[in-house]
Amino acid sequence: MNFFMDGTISYMKMWHGVELQQSDVTELYAPYNIAHHFWDFRGTCSEGDGQYSDEEGLPACKIAAAGNKPNGRRTGVEKCAAGRYSIGANDGCETCSPGQFSDEDGASSCKTSPPGYYPNDDRTNVTKCEVGKFSHAGSTVCTRCSEEGQYTGKEGSESCKPAPPGYRPYGNNTGIAKCEIGKYSLGGKNNCTRCAGEGLYADEEGLSACKYAPPGFKPNSDRTNIVQCEPQTFSFGEKMRV
C-alpha cells in the first residue's frame, strides 16, 4: 500500500490469498504512512503491552524488548533509566524493589545489594556500610553492631566481630582498644574488668587474664604492678597482704 501527496492510495489487491477492497484499508491520520501506524486492519499500535512501530509499512507492531519501553508516540523504544527495569512487553519501566538496584540503563532486572552495602535513595547504585555497621544481602539499610562486645573496624562489613581477648570495642563499635593496665578481658565484652582476685594484677595493656603476684611480692593498690614485701614480712605469692 502506498500513499501519495495528493491523498490518493494505492493498496495491495491480495493479502495471503485474500482479495482486498479499498474499504478494508484502515484510514490513517495523514495522506502518507507514519511509523507508529501499521497495516493490519487496525491502524495504531495498542497500549498496555509495549507495542511500537519504527518502520513504515509494517503488517504488525513490534513488542518492546526487555530493558526497553515504547516512546511517547510509539515510533521507537527507549531504554529504562538506571534504578528501573522492564521484563519486556510493557509500556513503562518499574522501580527496583527495596534492597535492589540497577546501576545502568536498559536493565531487564534489578540486582540485589551485596553484603556490606545498601541501595541509595533512587536505587541507581549501592553505598558501603559505615564503620561500626553491617548489612546482609538485600538489606535496605545498615545496622549498627548492638550485641555485647562487637565491632566492625572497616566499611562494607557483612557482620560484626567479637572483640578478641584483651580488647574492648570503642567509638560506637567502630574499632577496638587494648585493656588498660590493671584490667583484663576474656573477649566479646564491652568493657575490661579490673583485676580483683586475691594477689592479682596486670602490669601491661591487652591482657586476657590477670597475673598472680610471685612469692615475696604483693599487688599495689590499683593492681597495675607489684611491690616487694616490707622488712619482717613475707608472702607465699598470690596474696594481697602479708
Instruction: Quote the pLDDT of residue 163.
Output: 98
pLDDT for residue 38 is more than 70: no
Own/partner pairs, 30-39, CB within 8 angstroms, 24+ separation: 30/3, 31/3, 31/4, 31/5, 31/6, 31/7, 32/3, 32/4, 32/5, 33/1, 33/3, 33/57, 34/75, 35/73, 35/75, 35/76, 36/73, 36/74, 36/75, 39/1
Which pLDDT tens digit goes with each residue over 44-91? Answer: 899 999 999 999 999 999 999 999 999 999 999 999 999 999 999 999
The C-alpha cell at 218 is 604483693
Bigger pLDDT: 30 vs 238: 238
The model carries a pTM of 0.71
Average pLDDT of every residue of the chain:
85
CA–CA distance, 215 with 227 (Å, rounded to integer): 11
Region 184-199: mean pLDDT is: 96
CA–CA distance, 116 with 109 (Å, rounded to integer): 21
CA–CA distance, 124 with 95 (Å, rounded to integer): 10
Residues 119 and 95 sit within 8 Å (Cβ to Cβ)? no
Which pLDDT tens digit goes with each residue over 98-146? Answer: 999 999 999 999 999 999 999 999 999 999 999 999 999 999 999 999 9
Q: How confident is the model at residue 235 (pLDDT cuts 50, 70, 90)?
A: low
Among 23, 54, 32, 29, smallest CA distance to 43 is for 29
Region 26-36: mean pLDDT is: 40
Q: How confident is the model at residue 9 (pLDDT cuts 50, 70, 90)?
A: very low
Region 217-228: mean pLDDT is: 95
Task: Enumerate the domain spans of the chain.
Answer: 1-112, 116-162
Amino acid identity of 87? I
HEC string for 81-136: CCCEECCCCCCCCEECCCCEECCCCCCCCCEECCCCEEECCCCCCEEECCCCEECC
Neighbours of 15 (CB within 10 A): 15
Residue 76 C-beta-side C-alpha neighbours within 13 Å: 2
| DSSP symbol at 23 | G
pLDDT for residue 204 is more than 80: yes
Instruction: Quote the pLDDT of residue 8.
Output: 40
